[in-house]
Amino acid sequence: MADKSYIIVGAGVFGVSTAYHLIKKYPNADITIVDRDAFDQDTRVAASWDWNKVVRADYDDIVYCKMAIEAQDMFKTDNLWKPYFYQTGIYWMCRSDYAQEVVDNYKKLGRAADLKAVPIDEARKMYGGLFEDADYTGVKEVLVNKTS
């Protein structure tokens, strides 16, 4: 009989990560993951399902931001994951103070990263003007995180 029993609702990144860490901590536990998608479906609803995984820490919620940064740390250092982990960066157009809130969360958590909230005029010139002609209607600022 198992020492402990767990049911995890959701087989996304956080659900599977929770199961992974529980298995490491309690090898004899019974762990069940329940998800709304059938494994054999042609499509999935979770963004974390496809072959190209994105583990971002760019959250305005500091709890999610902290957990995701810790997950990135694991992907960077754990021999199981690090051969597959690449930080490709993000360029997000934000209609609110979201970009600055993300930057503030990194500072509050004492984490260094190559990220900033960029004014639209400056953002248009980045990357050789790649986004110069983009539609910035309603955009307040752009979040650029080269380490995401």
**Which residue pairs from 66-72 have beta carbons closer than 8 angstroms and sit at least 24 positions apart in sequence?**
66/105, 66/109, 67/14, 69/106, 69/109, 69/111, 71/13, 71/17
Q: Which of 29, 139, 78, 57 is nearest to 18 (CA)?
A: 29
Q: What is the pLDDT of residue 48?
A: 56
* Residues written for the chain: 148
15 within some domain = yes
Beta-bridge partner residues of 97: none
Q: What is the pLDDT of residue 12?
A: 79
Percent of the chain predicted with pLDDT > 90 = 68
93 within some domain = yes
Residue 5 has pLDDT above 70, yes or no: yes
Domain range spanning residue 18?
Answer: 1-39
Q: How many CA atoms lie within 13 A of 123 on its CB side?
A: 24
What is the domain count for the chain? 2
**Tens digit of each residue's pLDDT (9 = 90 or more) over 92-114:** 999 999 999 999 999 999 999 99
Predicted model pTM = 0.70
81 within some domain = yes
Residue 25 sits in the same domain as residue 67: no
